[in-house]
Chain A
């Protein structure tokens, strides 16, 4: 019992002495900094341990290098994966930027066309679907009766130097409108060659060349050249029309005028509108009596 008590006292004394020594050293170290006795002790310990530390460093270097190689490899793999992820993201962003830029350009062209044709009451919209039926091609717009679109309203699309005719509205719901495009054989738009008196005819899809138009029933007597611009002829004249006059349709690319005995000639017209890549369009609200 006494022995155990002595041991307890001794342990407590040892711990107390060590705590006191620590506090004394701490105080001295705090006062002296790295000079005096404390600095000498530190220098001595460093000198004593330096060779061992050097040996330990050399012995463990291969393992440390192996560790660094392994962690570096993992890091490199992670970086590669991250790089691939970033590349994909950049690709998606780039694609989105292109798409947005295209939409912005289209919207700007729309706005420009609307501004220049302020006498029309218009509503702008986007093509949300294209009919896969090649016999009766049409496009679906994301605007409809709720936006003021009505049956037979003409539809134009902005092109580089203004707007050009796309077709007419052939069906309307509250939120969508189906547009019969110029490539539909049933459309029949009355047109004229700009600057040529009496060069009137009807625009229909070209039967031999997909994507091209034919201007039929043009009198043989008028002079039409390649490069002439074909526009809608409007309401006046013997051929009535749903479309106001002067809306560009396309450019003359071929004139067939050497068939003797025929009353009219045929003209091949390349449309200004690219029907494969229609984005934004403008609907002219003609049924409201705003036409020019």
Chain B
């Protein structure tokens, strides 16, 4: 029941960290995407709905604070939440439902962060902004992926404590007959 408030607090704190701290550490762009870590973690441990709401709000906050087009980053996080939840087999699952155990989150974080970066570039290209592809890849996407991966190693255990993954019920139909 408290998952939504916790997610909202998390998304706000991570957004603040993302805009205030990481630019000091990585002044040349390509900083870590903390919101993407949260969205992927929620998509794996709490399902699509909470991940989508969190991603939408996180993207909205980031766009507002960074004076970008509102909704742009939200779309990228929504796509990330949907794809991770769907392809990890957690798309329509929920607490207490018969579902497989959540997969290891780190590969999904990397895939999700890559998806967000590519999605942002795609939306910006659709809006008519042009970039040097080489610069974008080597100075934005690759550094961001590496830093996100490193920070995910720290952040995921903390998030796991807050959003403990739902345990899968034993599949009774597969139990041996006595």
Which residues of B lie under 8 Å from residue A26 when comparing CB positions? 69-72, 75, 123
Interface residues of B, count at CB 8 A: 37
Listed stretches B46-54, B132-140, B149-157, B162-170; interface member = B46-54
Residues of A within 8 A of B94 (CB): 7
Q: How far is the CA of A56 from the CA of B18 in the complex (A)?
A: 10
Q: Is B113 an interface residue (CB 8 A)?
A: no
Flag whether B56 is at the interface (Cβ < 8 A).
yes
| Residues in B neighbouring A42, C-beta threshold 8 A | 63-65, 67, 70
Number of interface residues of A (CB under 8 A): 35
Check if B92 sits within 8 Å of A22, measured CB to CB. no
Contacts of A52 in B (CB 8 A): 12-13, 16, 20
Q: How far, in Å, is B91 (CB) from chain A's closest CB?
A: 8
Question: Which stretch from A12-20, A110-118, A137-145, A282-290 is at the chain B interface?
Answer: A12-20
Contact call B74/A18, Cβ cutoff below 8 A: yes
Flag if A22 contacts B78 (CB, 8 Å): yes
B145 interface residue, CB < 8 Å from A?
no
Looking at A27-35, A93-101, A205-213, A244-252, the stretch in contact with chain B turns out to be A27-35
**A41 CA to B62 CA, complexed, in Å:** 12
B39 to nearest A CB, angstroms? 12
Residues of A with C-beta under 8 A to B67: 34, 42
1/0 contact string of B92-109 vs chain A (CB within 8 Å): 101001000000000000
B-chain residues with CB within 8 Å of residue A41 when the two chains form the complex = 64, 70
Task: Specify which of B17, B48, B70 is in contact with A25 (CB 8 Å cutoff).
Answer: B70
- C-beta contact mask, B1-39 vs A, less than 8 Å → 1, else 0? 000000000001101110111001100000000000000
* CB < 8 Å neighbour of B71 from A7, A21, A45, A56: A21
Query: How far does the alpha carbon of A11 sit from the alpha carbon of B94 in the complex, in Å?
Result: 10
| Chain B residues whose CB sits within 8 angstroms of the CB of A60 once the complex forms | 17, 20-21, 24
**CB–CB B25/A25 < 8 A:** no
Residues of B near A57 (CB, < 8 A) are 20-21, 24
Which of A11, A19, A23 sits near B48, CB closer than 8 Å? A11
Bound Cα distance from A253 to B159, whole angstroms: 96
Whether B92 contacts A7 by the Cβ 8 Å rule is yes
CB distance from A71 to the nearest CB of B (A): 9
- Contact check, A29 vs B21: say whether CB atoms are below 8 A apart: no
Known: A10-B49, A53-B20, A56-B20. A22 touches B56 (CB 8 A): yes
Query: How far, in Å, is A16 (CB) from chain B's closest CB?
Result: 10
Bound form: Cα–Cα A220–B53 in Å: 119
A38 at the interface (CB under 8 A from B): yes
Interface centre among A8, A18, A67 (most CB of B within 10 A): A18
A221 near B: Cβ within 8 Å?
A: no
Kindly list chain A residues whose C-beta atoms are within 8 Å of the C-beta of B56: 18, 21-22
Looking across the interface, which residue of chain B has its beta carbon closest to that of A67?
B25
> Which of A23, A45, A56 is in CB contact (< 8 Å) with B17?
A56
Task: Tell me if A49 and B71 are in contact (CB < 8 A).
Answer: no
Q: How far is the CB of B94 from chain A (nearest CB, A)?
A: 6
Q: Is A223 an interface residue (CB 8 A)?
A: no
Please name 12 further chain A to chain B contacts, defined as beta carbons within 8 Å, in addition to the given A15-B82, A56-B16, sorted by A numbering. A11-B47, A11-B92, A18-B56, A21-B56, A22-B75, A25-B71, A26-B69, A30-B69, A42-B70, A49-B61, A56-B21, A67-B25
Show 23 residue pairs from A and B whose CB-CB distance is below 8 angstroms, ordered by the A residue: A4-B97, A8-B92, A11-B49, A15-B52, A18-B52, A21-B71, A22-B72, A25-B70, A26-B69, A26-B71, A26-B72, A27-B71, A29-B71, A34-B67, A42-B65, A45-B61, A45-B64, A46-B65, A49-B19, A49-B61, A53-B19, A57-B21, A60-B21
Q: Which 5 residue pairs of A and B lie closest in terms of their CB atoms, listed nearest first?
A: A25-B71, A26-B71, A45-B64, A22-B71, A53-B20
